Amino acid sequence: MATSGAVANFPPRASAGQSARQVYVGLRTFYRVLKANPLTFVGFVVVAILCIAALLMVVAPHVLAPYGPDQITTAYNQGPSGAHPFGTDGLGLDIYSETLYALPLDLEIAFAIAGAAMIGGGVLGLIAGYWDRPGSASGALSVVIMRITDIFLAFPSLILALAIAVSLGRGVWQLIVAILLTWWPYYVRLVRGETLAVKHLPYVSAARAAGVTDGRIVLRHILRNVLEPVVVYFTLDIGTVLVTLSTIGFVGLGVAYPSTAEWGSMISYYQGSGLITAYPWTVLGPGLAIFVTVLAFSLLGDGLRDILDPRSRRVLGGTGTGAITVATPPEAPLPPPAPAESEDLPGSEAPTAV
């Protein structure tokens, strides 16, 4: 324990006592970064609103939705009005309420798929990246993982998911399985790449030289460094999963509307039944919902990726928004700003080759 404890302190980290303060500093940094990036901030706010609305829809749907999920109103095929913001359809369903009922389901499916893909693909990626010594049994395993991953990556995931969905049939679980089967390889590739990059950093080598076990190194050092890009990718991925699952719904292989509300299936239903030309507002609700949700997650993820990417961080820093660079705790000695280290411009520390 003594050895590993000493070595584990190689990367700059806070002790347990400081962690509350670290959380505070982290949150403050997060807030300042968001404030400096208007688009990312908008994305964050909309995502937060959507998540709260989804929770409300599960707990107390009547707060937001004026009608029940299967409640037939007396109005048929009416355009948007005060009573029915997105109009009604031929069955007399209030499209606004239906869109809201689809919100928790769509978010749940998206989070379930992206989350399971992240965990499953992440574990495989860690194994393939960390235990990849050629000749060993684990090295062979890593090669097998990567070969299979490469083959999966050759498929456009939507196409393969569609093919699996047709074989599995319609339904929520079938939908999740179909997308998940095509979704994990992206996380394997991402996590493996990050693991390979971190693995040879001096402090990891030092930990290994000091006799820290592999499992411990992976848990304490590698995972910590891999987490950041994976979380960013995950945020962006929610949007992509949503698009994919609603496309499957649109093709007619997802959940069956109107028995279960899901945005893609709703659009498919209205478009397929020829209602769209006569009653174009029918696609307004679900279309807008999916667009806003995906855009919000993309804005957030895209912005986070820029902020966490050192290249962009430098640019942001240059315009006076580089909160990260000055966000060290006040009691720590202020590190000299970039120009103090080399008298060249901040840019010239860039790598030698493109």
Rule CB under 8 A: say whether 105 interacts with other proteins: no
Q: Give whole-number Cα distances, 124 to 55, 145, 185, in Å.
A: 32, 7, 9
Rule CB under 8 A: say whether 348 interacts with other proteins: yes
Of residues 183 through 242, those in contact with other proteins by CB under 8 A are 239
Rounded to the nearest whole angstrom, what is the least distance from the CB of residue 310 to other proteins in the complex? 10
* Cβ proximity to other proteins, 230 vs 236, nearer residue: 236
CA dist., res. 21 & res. 36, Å (int): 22
Phi-psi region of 334 (alpha: psi -120 to 50; beta: other; left: phi over 0): beta
CA dist., res. 208 & res. 85, Å (int): 62
Q: In terms of Cα–Cα distance, which of 168, 128, 163 is closest to 148?
A: 128
The label of the residue with tokens 């609103």 reads: 49
The burial class, CB within 10 Å (0-12 / 13-18 / 19+), for 330 is exposed
Rule CB under 8 A: say whether 243 interacts with other proteins: yes
CA dist., res. 105 & res. 137, Å (int): 42
Q: Which of 16, 59, 332, 354 binds other proteins (CB under 8 A)?
A: 354
Do residues 113 and 179 lie in contact, with contact meaning Cβ atoms separated by under 8 Å? yes
Q: Which of 27, 55, 213, 318 binds other proteins (CB under 8 A)?
A: 318
Of residues 6 through 65, those in contact with other proteins by CB under 8 A are 38-39
Of residues 280 through 309, those in contact with other proteins by CB under 8 A are 280, 283, 287, 290-291, 294-295, 298-299, 302, 309
Of residues 250 through 269, those in contact with other proteins by CB under 8 A are 250-253, 264, 267-268
* Cβ proximity to other proteins, 73 vs 321, nearer residue: 321
Rounded to the nearest whole angstrom, what is the least distance from the CB of residue 9 to other proteins in the complex? 27
Do residues 311 and 124 lie in contact, with contact meaning Cβ atoms separated by under 8 Å? no
* Cβ proximity to other proteins, 15 vs 277, nearer residue: 277
| 3-state class (DSSP) for residue 326 | helix
Site string for other proteins, 108-147 (x = CB under 8 A): ---------------------------------------x
* Cβ proximity to other proteins, 21 vs 147, nearer residue: 147
Rule CB under 8 A: say whether 156 interacts with other proteins: yes
